Amino acid sequence: MNGLREDLSATGSAVLAEGEGLRVTPPSIAALGRAVAVLRGHLLPVRVRGNGDAPVEAPPGGALLELTALDRIASVDGATGIARVEAGCSVAALETSARRAGATLGPLLPSVRAGSVGAWLAGPTRGERAVPGSRRETAALSVSAVLADGRLAESRAAPRSATGPDLDHLALGGSGRLCVIAAAWVRLFPAAPPAYAAWRAPDLASALRTVEGLCMDRLTPARGMLRLQERGALVALSWEGPESARLLRERAVRVVGPPLEVDAGPEVRAPASSRAIEVDARWSALEAFARHSGAAEVALYGMHAGGAFAVLSLAADGVEQCAAAARTDGARLVAPRRLRDAGPAWEAMGAGAAWNRLVAALGAEERP
Amino acid sequence: MTAPLRGAGPRGRALERDLVALLGPSAASCAPADLWAMSRDCWPRSLLWTKAGVAPHPPDVVVWPASTDEVVQVVRYAAERRIAVVPFGAGSGVCGGAVPVKGGIALDLKRLSGPPCIDLPARTVDVETGMNGQRLEELLGGAGATLGHFPSSIYCSTIGGWLAARSAGQLSSRYGKIEDIALAVEAVDGTGQVLRTQDAPSAGPDLLQLLLGSEGTLAIVTKARLRCWPSPTSRWMRGLRFGSVQAGIAGLRALMRSGLRPAVARLYDPLDTLLAGRGGRDAHVTVPEPLRWVVEGAQSEALRLALRAPVLLNRLVDALPGSSLLVLGFEGDGPFASSDAREEGELSLRLLAAEGAEDLGPAPGEKWLANRYRISYRQSPLFSAGAFVDTMEVATTWDRLDALYGAVRDAVAPHAFVMAHFSHAYLEGCSIYFTFVGLSGAPAGSSDADDLEQAEERYDACWNAALSAACDAGATLSHHHGIGLHKQLFLPREHGEGMRQLRALKQAFDPQGVMNPGKLLL
């Protein structure tokens, strides 16, 4: 361990013992590269943490890469809708900078908004966001990722490309397992006032079917709050886009019927329950959850024709029970972290052997 | 046309025997006509080969599997013997991605074209990947649905080819590229393992996005689940004129950043605008003769005369009025289709008027719609006349787009006549589709022995200049044609250290190296 500490210190990083592992804080992307090379060379397990991310221990016999010093926002171009940012920067800080430039990251799950850019992109949502057309895409226009030997792989910042497999997807959603995200070009929406509307549905499942129907008609809301109330369920929705928000809201009203005469804005923006979980799920899974007797609230983000990110809560039961119910219904848990589904899911897709070969080929093996 | 038919060698005959034993009679062939048909795709360079009467890269054998299981059997057979397997859809690729440079087995997927399973309420269609694109669209149309994916090759391309090269359709601004449309795939990797990605949230890196665009080098996609939508019942089309390309780019950006989603948004550079005679203030402008010879397919002598001076031709273009045409279209479906499309169209007109656009009415848009597939079938006469014509589609963010346009035009000007349009627009950027027309050599039928070599040198010089300029300007090498053989030498400039990630993927999915070897530098 002493030799390892010396090697890590030589990278320019601050190194501290923490529990059964080490906490390594590189001051720059170059130092991060050197530190990753040392850690991978020793086949050590690595965890990554940036600004805003929940406290996490270094893995036993491994290292926690603390990216808090990699928090620079190099540029924000609101007219083009892009920002260059280091992975340790908090999502909240990036959003503040984007707003100053007339842009925004758009609606994000609360756990994403509270964490770092690196955790957002490497985490279970893969940095995905909803885009017009009832689709989702990753917010990462391009990723700079540190490979096992410390070198930096950097993709071209283009809206789409056809230059082979999308290599950014080795980093996105990978939790730092194959490579560590150091920086990214992030896509931004133009900031504009949302349009709101609210309706009442007979129950929570009907409320979800209403929203699903809007997504199938390409009238996809940006955010939604569905809450069980005494006389049914409230469906409060917002739409975004400088020219499209009003237009989509009007068409939604045409489909669903006259909205309630309430200010739906505060309903949509209301914080979710503290006993909530976050999931990524198909509409059928969300509707199954809504039919549980204790289901109380569903907040929706990243909606598309196939499903949504959602914050789910039960009226009385706690997080564990809520997670169990959602999992039974087929939802994939995003937060809290301790309940998150372990990845990757490649084994179930017939790609377990390919995953193992990929880990070996990238030099990302860990000592058993 | 005289095809360079070559007889099968002993290796081909042995492979044919084995594969027939494996899959049954008529499942494999090494007949010369079959080998020639699979020796090339629509890469313009292979038109130079054909003109010269050569087929430098025939496969040893062609096999026609009829199911995923049969693809598994062929791949396992090939992997055990380290024989190349090159998937072939309809051969419409323009980068040589289906050219079997190492010989081996050409695996023609067209028998994988059973009836699709259309679930319009769920907005999905399950389809085998050998199906022709236009056939799928017709079947979807019969069910009141559309994929919304209309590449100009739709009549001669397959679903598998679209997925392999990350294809884009003409209405991508509304429906997305094929990687936005694909929800899940079934594929056979280089070990014969069947991979099935999930149309549901899953943990870890997205396997689907690693398989799409891999051009058959990692796995052969046999089935796909794709997003479909109700067919549009109304279209609103328009043409708008901008005073310059730069003004047009600013307008296109404002439109895409507004949140409106046109089905069609194509901005033509001044020459393309003029040549199509699309009306507006420039309708009276006379296009100089040498330019007409090039773009209207003049007699070969006149054409070749004009192409001997590409710098002069391109300077003539610069002297022409600089207006740019934007073809714009919106679609609607459902009971309010017509008013919805019109409402979005009129909102766009107001927004673009503020950016300096002049409304030319519906005619230019409707003309484009009626002729949108014609251009793809005009290449062969130019090649026969002793020219080459090719297209390059690169993409970047809005802030770099005009610089990219200028850099590529300047770089290509000494080699070929060049024009461009901007299509496939996104929130944060756009692709540029350049067309090059250059002198290759003698007209067909009068070639000498050195003609092919000279033609390939001229062709390569043009492309090297274009790709270098695109890379230097920070663009991606390809937006939707793929890499194939054609662009692979520039791939390290695109990916840098990412090339090692690409090679790691190859080791993971194709450890024997049998899947479409020689492509993507793998």
The answer to whether the CB of A163 falls within 8 A of the CB of B477 is yes
Q: Write down the pLDDT at residue A366.
A: 85
Inter-chain touch B210–A166, beta carbons under 8 Å: yes
- Count of CB atoms situated within 10 Å of the CB of B294: 25
- Residue range A246-269: mean pLDDT, rounded: 96
Question: Sign of the CA dihedral A111, A112, A116, A119?
Answer: positive
Residues from chain A that touch B347, judged by Cβ atoms under 8 A, are 243, 247
The torsion defined by the Cα of A186, A190, A192 and A197, in degrees rounded to 10, comes to -70
Residues from chain A that touch B507, judged by Cβ atoms under 8 A, are 357-358, 360-361
Check if A81 contacts B (Cβ < 8 Å): yes
- Taking alpha carbons only, the member of B402, B406, B360 closest to residue B242 is B360
Check if A167 contacts B (Cβ < 8 Å): yes
Tell me: pLDDT of B4 over 70: no
- Chain A residue whose CA is closest to B174: A133
User: Which structure tokens are listed for B347?
Assistant: 């909102």
The answer to whether the CB of B326 falls within 8 A of the CB of B279 is no
The answer to whether the CB of B100 falls within 8 A of the CB of B80 is no
Inter-chain touch A156–B494, beta carbons under 8 Å: yes
Q: For residue B254, give how far its alpha carbon lies from the nearest alpha carbon of chain A (Å).
A: 9
Q: For residue B323, give how far its alpha carbon lies from the nearest alpha carbon of chain A (Å).
A: 23
Residue B1: which pLDDT band, with cuts at 50, 70 and 90?
very low
Check if B41 contacts A (Cβ < 8 Å): no
The answer to whether the CB of A253 falls within 8 A of the CB of B271 is no
Of A77, A126, A151, the CB nearest to B399: A77
Tell me: pLDDT of B3 over 60: no
B374-426: per-residue pLDDT in tens?
Answer: 766 667 778 888 888 999 999 999 999 999 999 999 999 999 999 999 999 99
Side-chain-side CA neighbours of A195 within 13 Å: the count stands at 19
**B453 vs A352: which has the higher pLDDT:** A352
Residue B150: which pLDDT band, with cuts at 50, 70 and 90?
very high
- Matching residue, tokens 């770092």: A116
CB pairs under 8 A between A and B: 270
Q: For residue B403, give how far its alpha carbon lies from the nearest alpha carbon of chain A (Å).
A: 14
- List the 138-157 stretch of A: residues with Cβ below 8 A of B: 141, 147, 151-157
Check if A74 contacts B (Cβ < 8 Å): no
Beta strand pairing call for A180-187 and B417-425: unpaired
3-class secondary-structure state, position B450? coil
Of A158, A170, A254, the CB nearest to B336: A254
Inter-chain touch A156–B399, beta carbons under 8 Å: no
Q: For residue A2, give how far its alpha carbon lies from the nearest alpha carbon of chain B (Å).
A: 31
Q: Which residues contact B522 (CB under 8 A, 6 or more apart)?
A: B217, B502, B503, B506, B513
Q: For residue B253, give how far its alpha carbon lies from the nearest alpha carbon of chain A (Å).
A: 8
A3-51: per-residue pLDDT in tens?
Answer: 899 999 999 999 999 889 999 999 999 999 999 999 999 999 999 999 9
Question: Domain ranges in chain A?
Answer: 2-66, 73-190, 195-339
Rounded CA separation B368/A40 (Å):
56
Q: For residue A158, give how far its alpha carbon lies from the nearest alpha carbon of chain B (Å).
A: 4
Q: Which residues contact B449 (CB under 8 A, 6 or more apart)?
A: none
Inter-chain touch B194–A156, beta carbons under 8 Å: no
- List the 105-124 stretch of B: residues with Cβ below 8 A of A: 121, 123
Q: For residue B306, give how far its alpha carbon lies from the nearest alpha carbon of chain A (Å).
A: 34
- The edge-to-edge listing of strands for the beta sheet with B182-189 is B117-119, B124-128, B219-227, B182-189, B194-196
Tell me: pLDDT of B169 over 90: yes
Check if A132 contacts B (Cβ < 8 Å): yes
Inter-CA distances, B77 with A83, B83, B135, B161, B187, Å:
49, 8, 32, 23, 17
Q: Write down the pLDDT at residue A271.
A: 86
Rounded CA separation A125/A120 (Å):
7
Beta strand pairing call for A82-86 and A73-77: antiparallel
Check if B199 contacts A (Cβ < 8 Å): yes
Check if B155 contacts A (Cβ < 8 Å): no
In three-state form (DSSP H/G/I as H, E/B as E, the rest C), the secondary structure along A168-222 is HHHCCCCCCCCCEEEEEEEECEECCCCEEEEEEECCHHHHHHHHHHHHHCCCCCC
- Chain B residue whose CA is closest to A245: B259
- Chain B residue whose CA is closest to A130: B180
Amino acid A344 reads P
The answer to whether the CB of B30 falls within 8 A of the CB of B62 is yes
Q: For residue B450, give how far its alpha carbon lies from the nearest alpha carbon of chain A (Å).
A: 33
User: Which structure tokens are listed for B390?
Assistant: 């090719």
Inter-chain touch A167–B495, beta carbons under 8 Å: yes
The answer to whether the CB of B215 falls within 8 A of the CB of B165 is yes
Q: For residue B448, give how far its alpha carbon lies from the nearest alpha carbon of chain A (Å).
A: 36
Q: What percent of chain B has pLDDT over 90?
A: 78
The answer to whether the CB of B436 falls within 8 A of the CB of B408 is no
Q: For residue B48, give how far its alpha carbon lies from the nearest alpha carbon of chain A (Å).
A: 24
Of A133, A167, A346, the CB nearest to B204: A346
Q: Which residues contact B509 (CB under 8 A, 6 or more apart)?
A: A354, A357, B189, B190, B191, B218, B219, B515
User: For the domain A2-66, what is the CATH code?
Assistant: 3.30.43.10
Tell me: pLDDT of A55 over 60: yes
Residues from chain A that touch B261, judged by Cβ atoms under 8 A, are 132-133, 244
Residues from chain B that touch A306, judged by Cβ atoms under 8 A, are 123, 183, 199
Whole-prediction pTM: 0.96
Residues from chain B that touch A141, judged by Cβ atoms under 8 A, are 397, 428
B452 phi and psi angles, rounded to 5 deg: -65, -45
Inter-chain touch A159–B480, beta carbons under 8 Å: no
- Residue range A285-310: mean pLDDT, rounded: 96
Where on the phi/psi map is residue B394: left (φ > 0), alpha (ψ -120 to 50), or beta? Answer: beta
B170-215: per-residue pLDDT in tens?
Answer: 999 999 999 999 999 999 999 999 999 999 999 999 999 999 999 9
3-class secondary-structure state, position B185? strand
- Count of CB atoms situated within 10 Å of the CB of A315: 13
Of A159, A305, A361, the CB nearest to B429: A159
Of A77, A155, A243, the CB nearest to B260: A243
How much is the ipTM here? 0.97
Tell me: pLDDT of A341 over 90: no
Inter-chain touch B477–A161, beta carbons under 8 Å: yes
Does the bond joining A336 to the residue before it have cis omega, within 30 degrees of 0? Answer: yes
Inter-chain touch A361–B211, beta carbons under 8 Å: no
Inter-chain touch A187–B428, beta carbons under 8 Å: yes
Give the DSSP letter of residue A338: G
Residues from chain B that touch A173, judged by Cβ atoms under 8 A, are 203-206
The answer to whether the CB of B362 falls within 8 A of the CB of B330 is no
Interface test with A, best of B185, B196, B214, B397 (most A CBs within 10 A): B397
**B149 vs A344: which has the higher pLDDT:** B149
Supply the Cα-derived Rg of chain A in whole angstroms: 21
For chain A, give the number of residues.
368
Residues from chain A that touch B183, judged by Cβ atoms under 8 A, are 306
- List the 387-416 stretch of B: residues with Cβ below 8 A of A: 395-399
Inter-chain touch A158–B429, beta carbons under 8 Å: yes
User: For the domain A73-190, what is the CATH code?
Assistant: 3.30.465.10
In three-state form (DSSP H/G/I as H, E/B as E, the rest C), the secondary structure along B260-319 is CCCCEEEEECHHHHHHCCCCHHHCCCCCCHHHHHHHCCCCHHHHHHHHCCHHHHHHHHHH
Rounded CA separation A230/B480 (Å):
53
Q: Write down the pLDDT at residue B376.
A: 60
User: Which structure tokens are listed for B306?
Assistant: 């004009």
Beta strand pairing call for B234-242 and B324-332: antiparallel
Question: Sign of the CA dihedral B20, B92, B97, B5?
Answer: positive
- Taking alpha carbons only, the member of A308, A321, A115 closest to residue A220 is A308
Q: Which residues contact B457 (CB under 8 A, 6 or more apart)?
A: none
- Matching residue, tokens 């170059």: A30
Give the DSSP letter of residue A343: S
- Residue range A70-87: mean pLDDT, rounded: 98
Check if A178 contacts B (Cβ < 8 Å): yes
Rounded CA separation B426/A258 (Å):
33
- Count of CB atoms situated within 10 Å of the CB of A114: 17
Q: Write down the pLDDT at residue B314.
A: 87
- Taking alpha carbons only, the member of A223, A268, A244, A254 closest to residue A132 is A244
Q: Write down the pLDDT at residue B277.
A: 59
Straight-line distance from the first to the last Cα atom of chain B, in angstroms, rounded to the nearest whole number = 34
Residue B7: which pLDDT band, with cuts at 50, 70 and 90?
confident
Check if A253 contacts B (Cβ < 8 Å): no
- Chain A residue whose CA is closest to B253: A80
Rounded CA separation B287/B494 (Å):
38
Tell me: pLDDT of A167 over 90: yes
Give the DSSP letter of residue B515: B
- Taking alpha carbons only, the member of A260, A191, A272, A193 closest to residue A225 is A272
- Count of CB atoms situated within 10 Å of the CB of B275: 18
B335-357: per-residue pLDDT in tens?
Answer: 899 999 999 999 999 999 999 99
Residues from chain A that touch B189, judged by Cβ atoms under 8 A, are 351, 354
Buried residues in B78-89 as b, exposed as e (16+ CB within 10 A): bbeeebbbbbbb
Of A151, A169, A344, the CB nearest to B497: A151
Does the bond joining B414 to the residue before it have cis omega, within 30 degrees of 0? Answer: no
